[in-house]
Amino acid sequence: MAKKKFSKNWVTQHIQDPYVKLAQQKGYRARAAFKLLEILDTENLMKPGEVVVDLGATPGSWSQVARERLKRADGSINGQIIALDVLDMEPIAGVEFLLGDFRDDDVLASLEHALQGKDVDLVMSDMAPNLTGVASADSARMAHLAELAQEFAVRHLKPEGALIMKAFHGSGFSQIVQDLKTQFVKVVERKPKASRDKSSETFLVARGLK
């Protein structure tokens, strides 16, 4: 009974959420688009001509934002956007989508092939694990995804490139921040307005490889 009540409350809050309504109005697939937009504007990131990799892309709102930022007047992309997720994604014009688990070597190889040797300007990771409710297990899964995103960014970013990565406050968060600081010149925490207050999610922006 409690679970049903919780679900009903979530649905009510979701429907009344101004960012959900705004996403529908603007044609974004998820309210998460506004989290990315605020981070990009605050940090002055993503310019035409850049190579962008979107990890954990589905349903695709971050890739939609990237397409808007890199789109020419004729609709073509000035740059490159590669999106990846374990869940399939409805196509977005100009976005290369790879279906697969980022933890698999063959999927990483496909991603590297799509880059064709180009270094990346911006790696974006909105990846989050399926949560079990067991705090220690969930923290370990989150830390693992963060580690993978960081490893990929360090290996593929241009020296002046940037990583935007979702993380969660709690066990392991400070270690994730510390790890980023060992490899990036500047690391900041961002909690966009579109991120719900009760959510423990925080976005880490790391810039400039050491």
Q: Give the separation between CA 128 and CA 109, rounded to whole angstroms.
A: 21
166 in catalytic set: yes
Among candidate residues 4, 5, 158, 166, the one labeled active-site is 166
| Structure tokens that stand for 157 in this block | 């970013």
Q: Give the separation between CA 90 and CA 46, rounded to whole angstroms.
A: 23
- E strands along 114-200, which residues? 120-125, 157-168, 184-190
Comparing CA positions, the residue from 72, 69, 75 lying closest to residue 33 is 69
User: What are the φ/ψ torsions at residue 176 (nearest 5 degrees)?
Assistant: -60, -45
| Structure tokens that stand for 3 in this block | 């679970």
User: What are the φ/ψ torsions at residue 161 (nearest 5 degrees)?
Assistant: -70, 175
Q: Give the separation between CA 77 and CA 128, rounded to whole angstroms.
A: 28
* Contact (Cβ atoms closer than 8 angstroms) between residue 208 and residue 184: yes
**Positions marked catalytic:** 166
